[in-house]
Amino acid sequence: MKPIKNPLSTLALAVALALSTPLFAADHAEAPLVESDAASDIADVYAFLDPNDNSKVILAFDVHGFIVPGENGNLGGFDPNVRYQFNIENTGDADPDKFITVNFNEQASRGKSQRATVQLVTKGSTNKLGFYAPTTVSSATAATAPTPAVKTDAATGIAFFAGVVDDPFFFDIPGFNRFAASVLGGAPDISLLSRGRDTFAGYNSQMIALSVPVSLLKGSAGSVIGVSATTLRSTHTLRSASADPVNSGAYQPIDRMGVPTINTVLVPFPRKNEYNRASTVDDAAGMFAGDIVGTLTALGTDNTHIGILAGVAVTHGDLLRLDTAVANSGKQGGNNAGAGFPNGRRPVDDVIDTVLFLVTNEGLTTGDNVNANDVTFRDKFPFFAASHQPLPTGTLDDNTRN
């Protein structure tokens, strides 16, 4: 990777634009609508082959980021009024062909598991493959995190997990913003990107993860599938003084995500809610193409790299593209070279460094200097690390890295 002669000139443009579009990284609270709706706020989306069995695809996304360990119990329950949905495209266009929906029943108590209803739906078909599964109960009193409650459905071979985990995203937001201030102040200081402090360290999020046989997901596009996630709420909510809210009507999208940083960084702030309500078909039709290309042009990104980024998130919609013929192996969900982002996304993939590398025409090779998660990921399903728990009396370091 050969750096350009003056990466700071490109980064100066990038930073100036990023400040006009607040950067919350990946997709945490990226738009006004989800800023006040944590239960629907998608943080990150993952799609990768199980390194222990490449005949299985791991699909996962998390919501409700920045849960402090002391609130694991209070904030560990999934909202029963939200539909959590994986969108699978397998014919080579931008229109999803299969959906996996997850709905939760209401919590009966803080210490009791919720029941999840999981359904695999093929577009245009009335047949649904479905099963029930328990969530993993979180606690703010236990010193150790709970063992994942994994349910495998005998009929489909789909394994399910839902519960509180360590927030798997890693990125230094303050370091980036301080560097941005130095640029706008006329004295760019790239050393401010060397803080190496993970803004998400020490925090938890709510994760939904599935292990799905590749055979259930592939279609006419061969080995390649597209994956995104959507959260939805009912069109109507009736509130009264005497009863809990009653929901009715079709589900409408609240948040969506495929490729990291697209809405957060490249879509102008006034259109972020609109983007979340739109679809991957809208992406491919060019609804946001002008804004995204305009942003990248302002960033100083050249036509070659604009083409690469547009090919990832615009041409065929904002979907992670996973080639299931590319073997994935290694620890923590896979770490072998050439098998990760932008080929799907694994927990260990440093997506921010990859995006910065492309946006700066391969000029910035050191990224944000946060190169791994604050805790080690698991080596088997559900792969994401156990939740942070409240620390013992007398502990001075709470593990946050702000």
DSSP state of 81: T
The answer to whether 366 touches 195, Cβ cutoff 8 Å, is no
The answer to whether 341 touches 354, Cβ cutoff 8 Å, is yes
In the chain, the amino acid numbered 134 is P
| Euclidean distance between CA atoms 319 and 181, whole angstroms | 33
- State residue 187's pLDDT score: 82
| Euclidean distance between CA atoms 368 and 177, whole angstroms | 11
Burial label for 41, CB within 10 Å (0-12, 13-18, 19+), is buried
Domain ranges in the chain?
A: 7-359
- Of the chain, the percentage scoring pLDDT greater than 90 comes to 73
- State residue 359's pLDDT score: 84
- State residue 25's pLDDT score: 52
Give me the mean pLDDT over the 293-299 stretch. 85
Identify the weakest region by mean pLDDT among 4-18, 215-229, 249-263: 4-18
| Euclidean distance between CA atoms 67 and 77, whole angstroms | 12
pLDDT in tens, 302-345: 999 999 998 888 999 999 999 999 999 999 999 999 999 999 99
| Euclidean distance between CA atoms 163 and 138, whole angstroms | 7
DSSP state of 345: B
One DSSP character per residue, 157-172 reads --EEEEEEEE------
Bridge partners for 345 per DSSP = 47
What tokens appear for 62 in the block?
A: 């998390």
One DSSP character per residue, 116-140 reads EEEEEEETT---EEEEEEEPPPP-S
Phi, psi of 353 (to 5 degrees): -60, -40
Cα-trace Rg, the chain = 21
Say what the pTM is: 0.93
- State residue 15's pLDDT score: 45
- State residue 121's pLDDT score: 95
In the chain, the amino acid numbered 320 is L
Average pLDDT of the chain? 90
- State residue 193's pLDDT score: 86
Q: Assess whether pLDDT exceeds 80 at residue 360.
A: yes
* Cβ count near 128 (within 10 Å): 11
Identify the weakest region by mean pLDDT among 3-12, 37-46, 192-201, 319-328: 3-12
Q: Assess whether pLDDT exceeds 90 at residue 275.
A: yes
Compute CA 27 distance to the chain's CA centroid, rounded to the nearest angstrom: 6
What tokens appear for 268 in the block?
A: 């102008």
- State residue 367's pLDDT score: 85
Q: Assess whether pLDDT exceeds 90 at residue 3.
A: no
Please indicate whether residue 187 or residue 167 has the higher confidence score (pLDDT).
Answer: 167
The answer to whether 225 touches 217, Cβ cutoff 8 Å, is yes
| Euclidean distance between CA atoms 334 and 341, whole angstroms | 11
| Euclidean distance between CA atoms 285 and 279, whole angstroms | 10
> What residues contact residue 268 under an 8 Å CB cut-off, 6+ apart?
21, 291, 295
The answer to whether 360 touches 7, Cβ cutoff 8 Å, is yes
- State residue 190's pLDDT score: 80
Q: 133-148: buried (b, 16+ CB within 10 Å) or exposed (e) per residue?
A: bbbbbbbbeeeebbeb
- State residue 16's pLDDT score: 47
- State residue 24's pLDDT score: 45
pLDDT in tens, 49-105: 999 999 999 999 999 999 999 999 999 999 999 999 999 999 999 999 999 999 999
| Euclidean distance between CA atoms 135 and 115, whole angstroms | 6
Q: 358-378: buried (b, 16+ CB within 10 Å) or exposed (e) per residue?
A: bbbbbbbeebbebeebbbebb
Give me the mean pLDDT over the 131-140 stretch. 94
DSSP state of 385: P
The answer to whether 199 touches 369, Cβ cutoff 8 Å, is no
- State residue 245's pLDDT score: 87
Residues in the chain: 402
What tokens appear for 367 in the block?
A: 């990224």
